[in-house]
Amino acid sequence: MANFLEIQGITKHFNLSNGQVEALEDIHFDVTKGELICLIGTSGCGKTTLLRIIAGLERQTSGRILLEGIAIGATGRERGMIFQEARLFPWLTLEDNIGFGIKGRVDKKLLRTIVRGLLEMVGLSDFAKATPNQLSGGMAQRAAIARALAADPQVLLLDEPFAALDVQTRTKLQTDLLKIWQSTRKTCIHVTHDIDEALILGQRIIVMHPSPGRIHEIISVPFPYPRCSDEPDFIALKKKLRDLFISV
């Protein structure tokens, strides 16, 4: 289905005491339902700002965002956000963290079923009663993904969720995220600095350009999943993306 999520002419200026920052200029793109898009670009090109505007955490200066044809301007349960840090409540168990957002909105039995299902999906069933300080960084991020999924959002917005993890854990979580995406078919917009990660995950990669932040190029990734970073075609596309980075 075309035009599930439409980003139409988004511009964002931040007013500072000594002037204005043009964080985003005339950003346009459409996202198909169930699509996994990666957003990459050098530091300061507006990736987080754009994601926050889509989440409703930040207000754009101009332009609009439509979800299934309806303009969105504030946060909503149909959009879940995952940050670089897991942001779990340290005093709650994992199951209580994951169920926190829907507690009181569904009956206790359904809450337990949803939470148990999500714990299983992210491979943390044995840690239901653990508190966040008992988890590794990778486990905490998997819990954060489960917590975002608990509200059954239509769109997952992921802001460099694996950036703070070591390489092995990051690789594992990329595989986990792909499995979760393939089983839930949530529409995902995933911000990353990592070209390999974008190529491993994205059906399309949006390359952004800084000062002001705008779209440089949108690239469709033609490789089937799971992707192999040793394939010549993968390496060639990686080189193209690297060259695009250098040119911005």
Ligand X SMILES: Nc1ncnc2c1ncn2[C@@H]1O[C@H](COP(=O)(O)OP(=O)(O)OP(=O)(O)O)[C@@H](O)[C@H]1O
Cα 158 to Cα 160: distance, rounded to the nearest angstrom? 6
* Residue 213 contacts ligand X per CB under 6 A: yes
Among 11, 31, 47, 207, binds ligand X (CB under 6 A): 47
- Compute the 3-state secondary structure of the chain and give helix, strand, coil in percent, each to the nearest 5: 40, 30, 35
Q: Which of 203, 187, 205, 201 is nearest to 229 (CA)?
A: 201
Minimum CB–partner distance for residue 51 and ligand X (Å):
8
Interface with ligand X includes 36 (CB under 6 A)? no
Among 9, 44, 63, 101, binds ligand X (CB under 6 A): 44
CB of 201 to ligand X, least distance (A): 17
Given the complex with ligand X, which of 46 and 99 has the nearer CB atom? 46
- Residue pointed to by tokens 């700002």: 49
Comparing CA positions, the residue from 217, 203, 205 lying closest to residue 248 is: 217
Closest CA to 27 of 189, 188, 245: 189
- Based on the shown chain and the rule CB under 6 A, indicate whether residue 46 belongs to the binding site for ligand X: yes
Considering only the stretches 43-51, 69-77, 89-97, 237-245, report the one whose residues sit in contact with ligand X under the rule CB under 6 A: 43-51
Among 11, 48, 60, 97, binds ligand X (CB under 6 A): 48
Cα gap 202→32, rounded to integer Å? 13
| Binding interface with ligand X (CB under 6 A) | 14, 16, 21, 23, 41, 43-49, 193, 213
